[in-house]
Amino acid sequence: MTSYPKEQIQAYKEKHKQTGRLLIKCPDQPGIVSAVTRFLHKNEANIIESNQYTTDPQDGTFFMRIEFESKKLPAKEEELKHDFSEIALSFDMEWSLKGAYDVKKTAIFASKELHCLRELLLEWQSGDLIADIKMVVSNHEDCKELVESFGLPFFHIPSNKHIRKQVEEKQLELLKEYDIDLIVLARYMQILTPEFVAAYPFQIINIHHSFLPAFIGANPHKRAYDRGVKLIGATSHYVTNDLDEGPIIEQDIIRVDHRDNVEDLKKMGRSVERTVLARGVKWDLEDRLIVHENKTIVF
At 2, is the pLDDT very low, low, confident or very high (cuts 50, 70, 90)?
Answer: low
Using the predicted structure, report yes or no on whether residue 271 has a pLDDT greater than 90: yes
Q: For the residues 84-113, what does the mean pLDDT come to?
A: 97
pLDDT in tens, 152-200: 999 999 998 889 999 999 999 999 999 999 999 999 999 999 999 999 9
118: enclosing H helix or E strand: helix 115-126
Q: Exposed, middle or buried: residue 65 (CB in 10 Å: 0-12, 13-18, 19+)?
A: buried
* Position 3 confidence tier, pLDDT thresholds 50, 70, 90: low
* Known catalytic residue at 226: no
User: What is the pLDDT confidence band of residue 207, given thresholds at 50, 70 and 90?
Assistant: very high
Q: Is residue 26 very low, low, confident or very high in pLDDT (cuts 50, 70, 90)?
A: very high
Model confidence over 141-165: pLDDT tens digits? 999 999 999 999 999 999 988 899 9
| 78: helix, strand or coil | helix
pLDDT in tens, 119-135: 999 999 999 999 999 99
Contacts with 127 (C-beta within 8 Å, 6 or more apart), sequence order: 5, 8, 12
Confidence of residue 5 (pLDDT cuts 50, 70, 90): confident
Which residue is catalytic, options 244, 260, 284, 287? 244
Cα(35)–Cα(51) distance, rounded to whole angstroms?
15
- Mean residue pLDDT across the chain: 96
Report the candidate in 120, 108, 146, 124 with the shortest Cα–Cα distance to residue 274.
120
Handedness of CA 241, 277, 181, 247 (dihedral sign): negative
**65-82 mean pLDDT:** 96
